[in-house]
Structure 1
Amino acid sequence: MTGRLQGKTALVTGATSNIGQAIAEMFAAEGAHVVVSGRNKERGTAVVGGIRASGGRADFVAADLDGSTEAARELAQDATAALGGRIDVLVNNAGVYPPTTTTDTDEETFDHVYAVNVKAPYFLTAAIAPAMAAAGGGTIINLGSWIARLGVPGSALYSSTKGAMETLTRAWSAEFGPHGIRVNAVSPGVIQPPAPEGSAPTPAQVMMHGTPAGTVGAPAAIAHAALWLASDEASFVHGTVVDVDGGRTGVAVIAA
């Protein structure tokens, strides 16, 4: 690694598995002191242990981001303390995806998904951005989704929350950009950990047939994009949603 985040601090929500874990690990490998945040202490501690074993700096801060301002403020305070007094990079990654159709969704499920996927990052950003601005600037990276722009059956609830996050990315860029805070988003495509060699294609893999990539992406693909957005290489990138989806949304799909 090249130390592209050397001396930086970062908070990654939902970092105890999958995409969030990959981002936390890559940020730490590039020199950042990372707070790994999530609900599961055992998994979070394991992620931190792996980062430290590789020579990186990381701490686990437990958080149940239920959408309340209290939970957001508590995480902001605890993460800031763990990182020595400042947060340079915030990655709003935590989210939930219940497979449900519109007609099968009850109000409790609707409220829960919006609380975790929209309210929590909204109020966490509100809690962290003022200190970022006071310190001279920072970077916020949101996680969108390819199904925010390409409809998929059974995804109305989740995709609408990710559409909200992509809209907030542009709005926050306008709001916080003049204060030195860059706000961008990564829109992942179909992402899965590498499957064992010789295993049967999953429905997700089949969904990617006919795309330029031809298969699903790995969490590291999203981590590389987040790293670029967090680094000085993206210093002129504001309010942008970076599609990392194997061409699924932007390129005509050939039936195969």
Structure 2
Amino acid sequence: MHGTILKRPEGGVSMRLEGKVCMITGAASGIGKAASLLFVQEGAIVAACDVSETSLNTLVEEAKDLPGKVEPYVLDVTNREQVKEVVESIVQKYGRIDVLVNNAGITRDALLVRMKEEDWDAVINVNLKGVFNVTQAVVPHMIKQRSGSIINVSSVVGVYGNPGQTNYAASKAGVIGMTKTWAKELAGRNIRVNAVAPGFIETPMTEKLPDKAREAALSRIPLGRFGKPEEVAQVYLFLASDESSYITGQVIGVDGGLVI
């Protein structure tokens, strides 16, 4: 039996998220920016949340001629009061939040014996508690509307570990644990929760890698290159759209075969 081929409407614009209100954290750089622009291209209203107002302004400018719309919000995901205010503001303006992409993340790398407590705390607060903070504020609205898609951004490091990244690996493994738990808790309300686990992607975060580390990473990737932010954003788009309506509780690797 052949699957249905989804045809693009006339004019070549697919508009897979037309009219959907999508909240994206870490929306103004790297993978988050690629996702924001792709979602807007697909007709979404993107509530773009980021700590950098300057980067948000650049994003708004770049998205201005696309079919959807970017609504910028300066947001620190570690600040629970600010998170509540931003979520309430989005719901007040648009009446709903259809998609949440928990994309904000930081690194503070060091070997275990050298890792400072403040670097452990900073990464856990943004990458793990930040995901908890934002999701806890958004979910009551999704429960009320009896629909939603939550996309949590983990990492291959959260599945397989990586020397020098105790804090990052712990935070990203925790995100997977929360994803599977929430998928079970929320399925009865028609809310899907999935995680995406990128490998090495060309972003400001990986640009800091020393040449030796970059070469070592490339040697382990069967596809022989780092990924592009847009390639991860396409997976976010699939999980945000109705095309993934029977997928929940999954961890989808986007890593060029790194883990095989």
- 1:97 aligned to 2:94? no
Structure 2: segments with no counterpart, 5+ residues:
1-12, 205-210
- Which has a greater percent of helix? 2
Residue in structure 2 matched with residue 6 of structure 1 by the alignment? 18
Rounded Cα–Cα distance in structure 2 between residues aligned with 1:42 and 1:81: 25
Residue in structure 1 matched with residue 157 of structure 2 by the alignment? 147
Rounded Cα–Cα distance in structure 2 between residues aligned with 1:4 and 1:55: 11
- Kindly tell me: are residues 104 and 81 of structure 1, through their superposed partners in 2, closer, same or farther at Cα, counting changes over 3 Å? farther
Contact 2:176 2:195 (C-alpha < 8 Å) held by counterparts: yes
Task: Give secondary structure in 2 for the equivalent of 1:139.
Answer: strand
- 1:80 aligned to 2:91? yes
Residue in structure 1 matched with residue 230 of structure 2 by the alignment? 220
Root-mean-square deviation over aligned CA pairs: 1.8
How far off is 1:69 after superposition? 2.5
Rounded Cα–Cα distance in structure 1 between residues aligned with 2:70 and 2:143: 24
Residue in structure 1 matched with residue 56 of structure 2 by the alignment? 44
- 1:113 aligned to 2:123? yes
How far off is 1:148 after superposition? 1.2
Among 168, 185, 191, the alignment partner of 1:181 is 191
Among 39, 43, 47, the alignment partner of 1:35 is 47
Structure 1: segments with no counterpart, 5+ residues:
195-200, 252-256
Q: How many residues align?
A: 243
How far off is 1:105 after superposition? 1.9
Between 1:202-211 and 1:96-105, the stretch displaced more is 202-211
Contact 1:9 1:88 (C-alpha < 8 Å) held by counterparts: yes
- 1:23 aligned to 2:25? no
Residue in structure 2 matched with residue 197 of structure 1 by the alignment? none
Percentage identity across paired residues of the two chains: 35
Rounded Cα–Cα distance in structure 1 between residues aligned with 2:190 and 2:82: 26
Between 1:106-115 and 1:218-227, the stretch displaced more is 106-115
Task: Give secondary structure in 2 for the equivalent of 1:186.
Answer: strand
Task: Give secondary structure in 1 for the equivalent of 2:223.
Answer: coil
Between 1:201-210 and 1:27-36, the stretch displaced more is 201-210
- 1:69 aligned to 2:80? yes
Residue in structure 1 matched with residue 166 of structure 2 by the alignment? 156
Rounded Cα–Cα distance in structure 1 between residues aligned with 2:203 and 2:173: 24
- Kindly tell me: are residues 205 and 36 of structure 1, through their superposed partners in 2, closer, same or farther at Cα, counting changes over 3 Å? farther
Q: Normalised by the size of structure 2, how large is the TM-score?
A: 0.88
Rounded Cα–Cα distance in structure 1 between residues aligned with 2:156 and 2:22: 25
Contact 1:61 1:78 (C-alpha < 8 Å) held by counterparts: no
- Amino acid corresponding to residue 22 of structure 1 in structure 2: A
Q: Normalised by the size of structure 1, how large is the TM-score?
A: 0.90
How far off is 1:206 after superposition? 4.2
